Amino acid sequence: MLNGKKIVIVLPAYNAALTLERTYKEIPFDIVDDVVLVDDNSKDGTVEAGKRLGITHIIKHEVNKGYGGNQKSCYRKAMEIGADIVIMLHPDYQYTPKLIHAMSSIIANDLYPVVLASRILGMGALRGGMPMYKYIFNRFLTLFENIMIGQKLSEYHTGYRAFRSDVISSIDFTHNSDDFVFDNEMISQIFMNGYEIAEVTCPTKYFPEASSINFSRSMKYGRGVLRVSIGHRLHKWGLVKGKLYGKVK
């Protein structure tokens, strides 16, 4: 705990058997209370690796539900076990767990309710090996989103995020995509609900075992990001009622 807040790490996993242990062993358990591993029907031994590490809360999808579908299970379980702060950390070791202290502290001290670990601040993405085409896409999409949503984030596409529990409970993410654009839909919902988002500089690593989507999936993701951004602006103007922004029942 930190300042009396229960901290739960959620690990959305797919074929993470080779990297899960490295990720898990860097989690700061001096403040982290629980870990949730959700395996999205991996073809390797991800679940077995989680059991060997002693992870208490392991969920295995019997069919692959996609990256967004995996996160839905992650957040539901974290809320079920009483999390006050939820941190999504990819178990592929692309993001360092050593930032958990900093991200948790920002929320636990009531500075911001949401924290994103940005690969763009400090040029960490290129130094870590992000392909140039992905970097260019990232910058273009982020500029477009900032204009449409009316914010000034350095990037919307990081998979390393921390949330105060009431932020998650205020969002109806059941309508969100089960694919990668889930991340952008969630940020749009957070801003639409009036929450602020902080960012911290994050180094990142690109290596063979780390997960990464290919060019065609990147293009599909990019189209989804444009759709979400335009939908956010139209909803804000009252021209179209977006289903993402309904009240939680």
Q: Write the CB contacts of 5 (distance below 8 Å, at least 6 apart in sequence).
A: 84, 85, 104, 107, 108
Question: Which sequence spans correspond to the domains of the chain?
Answer: 7-241
What is the CA 18 to chain-centroid distance, rounded? 21
Closest among 227, 229, 224, 206 to 133, alpha carbons compared: 206
What is the CA 132 to chain-centroid distance, rounded? 22
Mean of all residue pLDDT scores within the chain: 93
pTM over 0.85: yes
Q: How far is residue 84's CA from residue 75's CA, in Å, rounded to a whole number?
A: 12
DSSP state of 210: S
Q: How far is residue 83's CA from residue 103's CA, in Å, rounded to a whole number?
A: 15
Give residue 211's pLDDT band: very low, low, confident or very high (50, 70, 90).
low
The residue with greater pLDDT, 211 or 50, is 50
Q: How far is residue 64's CA from residue 76's CA, in Å, rounded to a whole number?
A: 17
Share of the chain above pLDDT 70, in %: 96
Give residue 206's pLDDT band: very low, low, confident or very high (50, 70, 90).
confident
Q: Write the CB contacts of 176 (distance below 8 Å, at least 6 apart in sequence).
A: 68, 72, 182, 185, 186, 189, 244
Residue 243, pLDDT > 90, answer no
Q: How far is residue 165's CA from residue 64's CA, in Å, rounded to a whole number?
A: 26
Closest among 165, 158, 180 to 65, alpha carbons compared: 180
Instruction: Note the CATH architecture for domain 7-241.
Output: Alpha-Beta Complex (3.90)
8 A C-beta contact, residue 163 and residue 114: yes
